[in-house]
């Protein structure tokens, strides 16, 4: 079904649940193809009961099955992922020292795609 991922790669780390969007995984698969190096998924789907999500007023895009965190090894990988993610239409990009968060948040017409740092 996917070239580079197994659905279990996206299981919630605390509950084992998985409600990932197939469209999101296909887009991530395309990104992986364009980047040309392996992706290690450090966080995919998160149950609303996950300790990170439980206390949020509005659970995040991980709980919607439209987000993933990808481990990065160096600045070249970080740059390539971000560059290609923008090109492919990811709408939420978070940049951290050891991972890149990507999501396909729905924009309501007033919002624009966003990039942030952790």
Q: Which domain holds residue 106?
A: 20-113
Q: State the total domains in the chain.
A: 1
Residue 27 in any domain: the answer is yes
Separation CA 114–CA 13 (nearest Å): 26
Q: For the whole model, what pTM was predicted?
A: 0.94
Residue 11 in any domain: the answer is no
What is the domain-level CATH number for residue 69? 3.30.1380.10
Separation CA 18–CA 84 (nearest Å): 26
Residue 98 in any domain: the answer is yes
Residue 31 in any domain: the answer is yes
Please give the C-alpha separations between residue 109 and each of 7, 11, 61, 98, 105, in angstroms, as whole numbers: 31, 31, 18, 32, 12
**Residue pLDDT, tens place only, 63-95:** 999 999 999 999 999 999 999 999 999 999 999
> Which residues on adjacent β-strands are paired with residue 43?
69
Residue 41 in any domain: the answer is yes
Residue 3 in any domain: the answer is no
Q: First-to-last CA distance in the chain?
A: 33
Q: Where are the alpha helices (H) located in the chain, listed in sequence order?
A: 22-35, 75-88
């Amino acid at each position: 079904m996917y070239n580079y991922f197994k659905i279990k790669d996206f299981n919630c780390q605390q509950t084992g649940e998985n409600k990932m969007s197939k469209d999101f995984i296909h887009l991530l698969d395309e990104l992986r193809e364009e980047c040309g190096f392996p992706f290690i998924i450090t966080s995919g789907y998160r149950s609303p009961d996950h300790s990170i999500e439980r206390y949020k007023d509005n659970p995040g895009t991980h709980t919607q099955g439209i987000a993933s965190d990808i481990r990065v090894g160096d600045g070249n990988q970080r740059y390539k992922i971000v560059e290609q993610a923008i090109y492919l239409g990811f709408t939420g990009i978070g940049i951290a020292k050891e991972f890149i968060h990507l999501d396909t948040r729905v924009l309501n017409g007033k919002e624009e795609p966003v990039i942030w740092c952790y």
